[in-house]
Amino acid sequence: METTWKKALKSNKAVKVNIQPVYSGTSKRPTSFIVEQNVGGKQLPVLKLKNTATGK
What is the spatial distance between Cα 42 and Cα 56, in angstroms, rounded to a whole number? 25
33 CB-side CA count, 13 A: 15
Query: Which DSSP helix (H) or strand (E) runs through 5?
Result: helix 2-10
Tell whether 55 is covered by a domain.
Answer: no
pLDDT of residue 56: 80
pLDDT at 55 exceeding the cut of 80: no
For 43, the domain range is 2-50
Contacts of 38 (CB under 8 A, 6+ apart): 14, 15, 16, 17, 44
Query: Which DSSP helix (H) or strand (E) runs through 6?
Result: helix 2-10
Number of domains the chain is built from: 1
Mean pLDDT in the chain? Answer: 95
Question: What does the pLDDT look like over 21-44, one tens digit per residue?
Answer: 999 999 999 999 999 999 999 999
pLDDT at 7 exceeding the cut of 90: yes
Tell whether 15 is covered by a domain.
Answer: yes
